[in-house]
């Protein structure tokens, strides 16, 4: 690591631990470019550290201030102005939340299979000892996308004896897990009991899971979305829940976020909805900073960075 000075443009939010980073890298200067902050026209920064809550419309005005590397403190990168980033290195915090999200998905699969919470009782049931519960053993789980999150899901499904089928957009089809790689989306979902969406949001995936794709699934399929709400056509989802083609939707992401008051997704008994929290874990912020600090060390040593984003593909 060199001792060269470097300036970081950042939004002064609590979860970016600027003081901690300064202690490790005393040659780093943090320049506050938070919303509403008056930024001098002469201000320049080599690194632009973007928070996931930053208004994307504000980002372009900082990119002509000498920025060479843009890092977003999140896994998802939709919203970045990729058309303006061709000359920049772009990275994200890929992998920081993969394990807790994978655990959330396994919870949803088991909850659906074992009919939780609807099988709990608060009074004497009609029948003791009898319940139409299902099993994950030999169930087919389709993973749409096979990045770090769905790979962690595949790892955790292996002991359950599931058949796991994955579809990924990139040509790389290798997997260290017992996963069948499908060549098409249709092939992946056609025999699935559970379909897990783990795709990045791009122009190609926006509204990808609509009526046509849902009708390709096995009747009564369970749909899980931990990616982005806009990947699912929510009108088509309602239609397919009504018909029984989809038996349950477990959603950690929706569109818009937050949903307006009175939205049908809040009250539909076939929808298990959480407020975009599947990533949450006690060490999440530590993981975010470990990833950025590791990359900052590499940047200062002129080494390739982890979590690289292809600005042409948008992920």
- Catalytic residues, by residue number, are 228, 257, 276
Q: Taking Cα atoms as reference points, which of 11, 20, 15 lies closest to residue 293?
A: 20
Which segments of 9-167 does DSSP mark as H helices, in order?
A: 18-24, 98-113, 148-157
- Spatial distance between the Cα atoms of 257 and 231, rounded to a whole number of angstroms: 13
Which segments of 29-169 does DSSP mark as H helices, in order?
A: 98-113, 148-157
- Spatial distance between the Cα atoms of 5 and 2, rounded to a whole number of angstroms: 9
Residue 142 near residue 165 (C-beta atoms within 8 A) = yes
Residue 308 near residue 65 (C-beta atoms within 8 A) = no
Q: What's the sign of the alpha-carbon dihedral 263, 76, 204, 249? A: negative
- Spatial distance between the Cα atoms of 131 and 291, rounded to a whole number of angstroms: 46
3-class SS at 222? strand
Q: Which residues are bridge partners to 232 per DSSP?
A: 209
Which H or E element spans position 293? helix 284-300
| CA 187 to chain centroid | 23
Q: Is beta strand 221-225 parallel, antiparallel or unpaired with respect to 194-197?
A: parallel
């Amino acid at each position: 690591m060199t001792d060269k000075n470097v300036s970081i443009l950042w939004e002064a939010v609590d979860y970016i631990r600027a003081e901690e980073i300064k202690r490790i890298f005393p040659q780093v200067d943090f320049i506050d470019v938070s919303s509403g902050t008056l930024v001098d026209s002469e201000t320049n920064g080599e690194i632009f550290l973007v928070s996931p809550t930053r208004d994307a419309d504000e980002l372009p005005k900082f990119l002509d201030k000498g920025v060479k590397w843009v890092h977003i403190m999140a896994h998802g990168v939709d919203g970045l102005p990729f058309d303006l980033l061709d000359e920049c290195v772009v990275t994200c915090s890929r992998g920081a939340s993969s394990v807790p999200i994978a655990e959330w998905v396994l919870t949803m699969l088991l909850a659906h299979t074992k009919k939780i919470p609807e099988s709990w009782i608060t009074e004497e049931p009609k029948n003791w000892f009898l319940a139409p519960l299902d099993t994950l053993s030999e169930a087919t789980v389709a993973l749409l996308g096979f990045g770090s999150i769905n790979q962690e899901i595949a790892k955790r499904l292996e002991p359950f004896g599931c058949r796991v089928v994955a579809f990924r957009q990139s040509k790389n089809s290798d997997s260290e897990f017992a996963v069948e790689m499908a060549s098409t989306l249709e092939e992946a979902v056609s025999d699935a009991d559970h379909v897990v969406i783990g795709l990045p949001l791009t122009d190609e995936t926006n509204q990808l899971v609509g009526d046509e794709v849902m009708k390709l699934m096995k009747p009564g399929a369970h749909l899980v979305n931990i990616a982005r709400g806009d990947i699912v056509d929510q009108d088509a989802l309602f239609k397919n829940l009504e018909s029984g083609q989809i038996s349950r939707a477990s959603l950690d992401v929706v569109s818009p976020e937050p949903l307006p008051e009175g939205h049908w997704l809040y009250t539909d008994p076939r929808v298990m909805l959480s407020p975009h929290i599947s990533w949450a874990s006690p060490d999440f912020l530590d993981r975010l900073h470990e990833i950025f600090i590791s990359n900052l060390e590499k940047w200062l040593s002129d080494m390739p960075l982890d979590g690289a984003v292809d600005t042409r593909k948008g992920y």
